[in-house]
């Protein structure tokens, strides 16, 4: 008997003739070169979305300078709002795929992705570029969970774990090349070509996918979409991000607009929680937070990723703005992260089965605390040419970050809730990365003037009246023929450079204390242990881990 609210597709036989409007399912999987081409198309689609996420950080100074000469903080809006849109696409992609079919939604999303990329490429002002970038993030976010589902459908049950391994490889690869390749495109071709190149690639992915599985049916799942919950969620995430984006530039809550946004968020958040608790098909199942491990694991994932994403984005931009690195060189600085991150990410899933995941999570968080503190002690510009070893260490702990916390998050949940829990963990973790970019920018913005005044006080001799270092240095330069105006400008630039580097160090030191606190907090979770599970349950758990 067909369950209420669901329409189950039939086969291509008499049943389909009796019900011509009913979708048809073909169970035959792709084989041979079609199977290989299908995997490549879906993997490439996954990569270009994640590549756009990572590479834009290296492009940011170029974009800000070209869009009417806006401040870099304004250019960062296009990154943070892109990330928020990416996250908001997760709950709606589930509903769209159930109603219209996975591959139809996937193809349509990439057509819209191509259109949004073109609008980004031709933008001459921030006010066109910003909505186009948001549109791009939403279209890309729809493809991420659907692409994984389409990939798994083409593998037989005994090879599902191989499919997830392939998908994990496609997930890690964009971050291997995003920073340096994005920087190279910006330096050699211009930042607009990043988006121009996305247009034919996205259309090709849509065309190849459609040609290979055209006519496939699907199990139609007609459920009521939680529109009110989704709108409230969008208001909360978008409102918080708007406040963080514009706070530094518009004097925070002295701005009537930002004050109004704050009031809206304060009202919308409790309304969202109460609404979701009473909804049968919620956009976000807040009841999952009644599970202790889920709540603690998600808190560690979101706060940890907030610090990591914010630090990396801040670091790569400031290398260009303060020290004059090209976009390519700034990207190459972060390339050393991948030497450990990529292989360890693949290995940690199995390693976490050997002992309590809390132990691995604690060691990783302590490692981040140590590395952030190490970088936070750098106070000379020349040191940043020797950043390879700290970045290599950071990459090691980045490779061990996700797996133990994911195991901790999903431990104890019923098998049927694993995929939903993974989607929600990703939904909360992704915006945390956007919040981290702006919050670390706030620290930099607030601490730079403090260090400027402190350095001016130090060199001006008010601390050491008998030793006027600045005056002595100025006299030597003037005697060598440097004009007074040039001298003032140069000394001011040196003080500003040093002050900004010290403020950047402060951001790393703050993150170090955050990681230290999380390393303690993780022990409040229940211990994890290996439980007996069927092959289906193991695959569902592995798929959930890959999704996070």
∠ CA 257-262-265 to the nearest 5 degrees?
A: 125
Q: Distance (Å, rounded) from C-alpha 497 to C-alpha 502?
A: 9
Owner of token pair 């530039």: 249
Burial grade of 57 (CB within 10 A; 0-12, 13-18, 19 or more):
buried
User: Which of 240, 255, 280 is the endpoint of a domain?
Assistant: 280
> Which has the closest alpha carbon to 102: 23, 14, 16?
23
Q: Give the per-residue pLDDT at 499.
A: 84
Q: How many CA atoms lie within 13 A of 389 on its CB side?
A: 5
Contacts of 290 (CB under 8 A, 6+ apart): none
Report phi then psi at 526, rounded to 5.
-75, 145
Count of Cβ atoms closer than 10 Å to residue 28 Cβ: 6
Q: Are residue 147 and residue 265 in the same domain, yes or no? A: no
Q: What are phi and psi of 13, to 5 degrees?
A: -115, -145
Examine the domain organization and report whether 140 and 242 are in the same domain: no
Note whether 130 and 201 are same-domain residues: yes
Please state, in angstroms and rounded to a whole number, the distance separating the CA atoms of residues 338 and 517: 26
Do 244 and 378 sit in the same domain of this protein? no
Do 235 and 250 fall into the same domain? Answer: yes
**Do 50 and 179 share a structural domain?**
yes
Q: From CA 211, how far away is CA 214, in angstroms rounded?
A: 5
518 & 457 share domain? no
What's the full length of the chain, in residues?
A: 548
- Identify whether residues 520 and 377 lie together within a single domain: yes
Residues of the domain holding 259: 226-280
- Tokens representing 460 are 């001006």
Based on the domain organization, do 312 and 344 belong to the same domain? yes
Residue given tokens 């708007």 in the structure block: 242
Answer yes or no: pTM beyond 0.75: yes
Confidence (pLDDT) at 524: 92
pLDDT (0 to 100) of residue 9: 42
Which among 297, 289, 412, 424 has a CA at the least distance from the CA of 361?
297
Question: What's the pLDDT at 207?
Answer: 92
Considering the domain architecture, whether residues 316 and 452 belong to the same structural domain is answered as no
Nearest CA among 445, 469, 472 for reference residue 457: 469
**Residues 107 and 202 sit within 8 Å (Cβ to Cβ):** no
Would you state the torsion angle of the CA atoms of residues 413, 415, 417, 420, taken in this order, to the nearest 10 degrees? Answer: 110
CA-angle at 137, arms to 131 and 140, nearest 5°: 140
CATH number, domain containing residue 185:
1.20.1250.20
Same domain? 353 vs 455: no
Give CA–CA dist 459/393, Å, rounded: 35
- Give the chain's domain count: 4
* Residue 441 Cα to chain centre, angstroms: 16
Q: How far, in Å, are 30, 150, 218, 266, 289 from residue 213 at the CA level? A: 8, 10, 11, 46, 39
Query: Running DSSP on this structure, what letter comes out for residue 10?
Result: B
Based on the domain organization, do 180 and 147 belong to the same domain? yes
Tens digits of pLDDT across the chain (548 residues) = 343 344 334 333 333 333 333 344 445 667 778 888 888 888 888 888 888 877 777 777 778 777 776 666 777 788 888 888 988 888 888 888 878 888 889 999 999 999 999 999 898 888 888 899 999 999 999 998 888 888 877 777 777 666 666 676 677 666 667 777 777 888 788 888 889 999 999 999 999 988 888 777 666 777 778 889 889 999 999 888 888 888 877 878 888 888 999 999 999 999 999 998 888 888 888 888 888 989 999 999 999 988 988 888 778 777 777 777 777 777 777 777 777 776 777 677 778 777 888 899 999 999 999 999 998 888 776 666 677 888 888 888 888 888 888 888 888 888 777 778 888 888 888 888 888 888 888 888 888 888 887 777 665 544 444 445 556 666 766 666 666 666 666 777 777 778 888 888 899 999 999 999 999 999 998 888 755 555 566 666 666 666 66
Type and span of the H or E element at 83: helix 77-100
Residue 118 β-bridge partners: none
Residue 188: is it exposed, middle or buried by C-beta count within 10 angstroms (0-12/13-18/19+)?
exposed
How would DSSP label each residue in 316-371?
A: HHHHHHTT---HHHHHHHHHTTHHHHHHHHHHHHHHTTSS-HHHHHHHHHHHHHHH
Structure tokens at 268: 């919308």
């Amino acid at each position: 008997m067909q369950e209420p609210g669901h329409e189950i597709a039939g086969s291509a036989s008499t049943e389909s003739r009796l019900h011509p409007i009913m979708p048809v399912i073909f169970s035959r999987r792709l084989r041979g070169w079609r199977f290989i081409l299908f995997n490549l198309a879906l993997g490439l689609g996954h990569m270009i979305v994640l590549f756009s996420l990572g590479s834009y950080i290296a492009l940011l100074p170029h974009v800000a300078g070209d869009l009417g000469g806006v401040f870099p903080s304004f250019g960062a809006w296009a990154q943070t709002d892109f990330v928020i849109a990416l996250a908001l696409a997760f709950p709606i992609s589930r509903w769209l795929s159930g109603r219209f079919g996975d591959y139809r939604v996937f193809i349509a999303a990439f057509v819209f992705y191509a259109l949004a990329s073109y609008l980004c490429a031709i933008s001459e002002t921030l006010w066109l570029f910003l909505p186009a970038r948001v549109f791009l993030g939403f279209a890309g976010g729809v493809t991420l969970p659907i692409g994984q589902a389409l990939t798994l459908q083409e593998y037989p049950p005994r090879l599902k774990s191989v499919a997830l391994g392939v998908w994990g490889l496609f997930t890690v690869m964009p971050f291997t090349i995003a920073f340096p390749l994005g920087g190279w495109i910006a330096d050699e071709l211009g930042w607009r070509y990043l988006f121009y190149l996305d247009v034919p690639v996205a259309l090709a992915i849509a065309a190849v996918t459609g040609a290979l599985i055209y006519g496939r049916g699907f199990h139609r799942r007609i459920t009521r979409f939680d529109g009110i919950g989704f709108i409230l969620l969008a208001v909360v995430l978008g409102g918080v991000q708007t406040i963080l984006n514009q706070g530094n530039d518009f004097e925070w809550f002295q701005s009537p607009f930002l004050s109004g946004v704050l009031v809206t968020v304060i009202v919308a958040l409790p309304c969202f929680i109460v609404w979701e608790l009473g909804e049968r098909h919620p956009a976000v199942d807040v009841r999952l937070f009644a599970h202790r491990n889920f709540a603690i694991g998600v808190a560690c994932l979101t706060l940890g990723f907030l610090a990591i994403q914010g630090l990396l984005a801040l670091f790569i931009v400031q290398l260009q703005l303060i020290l004059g690195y090209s976009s390519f060189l700034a990207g190459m600085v972060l390339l050393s992260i991948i030497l450990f991150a990529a292989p360890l990410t693949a290995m940690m899933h199995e390693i976490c089965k050997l002992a309590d995941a809390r132990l691995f999570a604690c060691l990783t968080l302590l490692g981040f605390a140590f590395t952030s503190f190490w970088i936070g002690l750098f106070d000379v510009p020349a040191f940043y040419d020797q950043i390879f070893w700290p970045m290599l260490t950071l990459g090691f702990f980045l490779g061990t970050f996700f797996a133990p916390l994911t195991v901790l998050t999903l431990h104890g949940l019923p098998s049927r809730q694993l995929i939903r829990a993974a989607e929600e963990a990703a939904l909360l973790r992704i915006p945390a990365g956007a919040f981290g970019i702006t919050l670390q920018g706030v620290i930099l913005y607030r601490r730079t003037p403090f260090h400027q005044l402190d350095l001016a006080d130090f060199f001006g001799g008010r601390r050491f009246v008998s030793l006027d270092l600045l005056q002595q240095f100025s006299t030597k330069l003037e005697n060598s023929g440097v004009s007074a105006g040039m001298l003032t400008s140069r000394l001011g630039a040196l003080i500003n450079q040093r002050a900004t580097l010290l403020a950047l160090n402060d951001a790393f030191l703050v993150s170090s204390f955050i990681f230290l606190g999380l390393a303690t907090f993780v022990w409040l979770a229940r211990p994890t242990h290996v439980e007996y599970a069927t092959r289906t349950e193991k695959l569902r758990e592995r798929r959930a881990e890959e999704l996070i």
